[in-house]
Amino acid sequence: MNLRKNDFSQGSIAKNILSIAVPLTAAQLTAVLYNIVDRAFIGHIDAVGRSAFTGIGLVMPITYIINAFANLCGTGGAPLCSIARGRGDDKKAARIMGVSFTLLLLTGAVLTVLFYLFHEPILYLVGGSADTVVHAKSYLLIYLAGTLPMMVCLGMNPFINSQGFGKTGMMTTLLGAIINLILDPVFIFVLDMGVRGAAVATVIAQICSAVWVLRFLTGQNALLRLSRENMGLDAAILRRVCGLGLTGFTFGVTNSLVQALGNAQLQIYGTLASGTGDLYVGAMTAITSIREIVTQPLHGMTNGAQPVLGYNYGAGKYSRVREGIRFLTLSCVGYTAAVWLLLLAFPRMFILLFNNAPNLLETGVRTMRIYYAAYVMMSFQMIGQNTFVALGRAKNAVFFSLFRKVILVIPLMLILPRLWGLGPYGIFAAEPISDITGGLACFTTMMLTVWREMKQPDRLQ
């Protein structure tokens, strides 16, 4: 094997980043369609659309937990592979991938069993009502059958991208998204399966994507192949993978906690304000679904930069690391500013993607402008955090992930509804405050540490 292919220490940094980021962004946008398409079709089911759509919002904290464990393996192992490749240690890189895959299979099996056993109390805990939990259960009990395939897609695709095969990584999610898009209306409307049909379509799509990933990583075209001899549990590698993967893991877990707490708080304060908490839970489901869409290009750019920054750091090309951070900052802030203005100017257009009930539209437009008031600042959080991940700075990355969600958002969700008569609107207001504070803190710390360190002379090869 010629593992010196895709040498990111040569050529234009911007071109290297974009060669991974563009197909990765396309892949992640289509990956979002797995869930977004489900929610959009479900929200337009006759008679039960709004309650069914709100019920799917109850499933979101569970999907975030599953994603978190996939990220533990993928965002923990893939950057370490890039650093090992940059140092020329190809054997170590392959071993890291094998250990990460083993960890992924074990956690996936455990999660499937636990959620099957405790799904009903969890759904009520995260803000469910009798009207919405029935729809959530119909979807979730089928959806959980695809837990392992979904984790293979999310957790192993970064290893394809880290080797420089961005287009192949894009096909992983493009394949599944297209299959899901075709099957959703067939199962939901033609076969009249409703919410259960959306779940069946999603599971089939996830299985197809997982097969694609495994065929590539075990095939002749991969630079690093997934093989039995590299699988198993290695304590030293697991510590490093889990340490660095805690960033992606923490991001997923805290997203789950915030979504669960937000739904529960909205059920309480929404009922006090208007007699029904389901309306505000539905608005939050629409708003966070929109966020999943518009944030994916930001994830694509920052995740696409990780292999390039990590490779050059491992190779001692510190000037190229600085160049990469500079390019990443300009592109991410520019994109986020444009999206920010669009979201504030046309909120109704986005809400209509999921449901056209007049009361949901009115509440959704009002709360959306609060939630996205400072969205542009989110880019600084992601630039700083992903730079820390790319260079193996696990402690910094994990801290700022926890800082924004656990130290800022969760307390604000508990406090703001009690102040100045904000009620349910205080829960939405927690987001812009955390965007400003978390974004500035993370980016400033990265500039004062990583940026200064990268001013040292390049290491001679």
pLDDT tier, 6 (very low <50, low <70, confident <90, very high otherwise)? low
Mean pLDDT to the nearest integer, 97-106: 91
pLDDT tier, 355 (very low <50, low <70, confident <90, very high otherwise)? confident
pTM of the entire structure? 0.72
Percent of the chain beyond pLDDT 70? 94
- What gap in Å lies between CA 161 and CA 301, rounded to an integer? 12
Mean pLDDT to the nearest integer, 311-332: 88
At residue 45, the pLDDT reads 67
In sequence order, the 6+-apart residues with CB closer than 8 A to the CB of 150 are 66, 70, 206, 210
**Domain layout of the chain by residue ranges:** 13-453
Is pLDDT above 50 for 135?
A: yes
- The mean of the pLDDT values for the chain is 84
Is pLDDT above 60 for 220?
A: yes
Distances (CA, A) of 115 to 112, 123, 128, 131, 140: 6, 10, 16, 21, 9
At residue 238, the pLDDT reads 87
Of the segments 26-30, 224-228, 384-388, 413-417, which one has the largest average pLDDT value? Answer: 413-417
Is pLDDT above 60 for 5?
A: no
Percentages helix, strand, coil for the chain (3-state, rounded to 5) are: 85, 0, 15
The terminus-to-terminus CA distance of the chain in angstroms comes to 22
| pLDDT tens per residue across span 11-54 | 788 888 888 788 777 766 766 766 677 677 776 665 555 677 77
- What gap in Å lies between CA 173 and CA 170, rounded to an integer? 6
Dihedral sign for Cα atoms in the order 169, 174, 179, 181: positive
At residue 1, the pLDDT reads 38
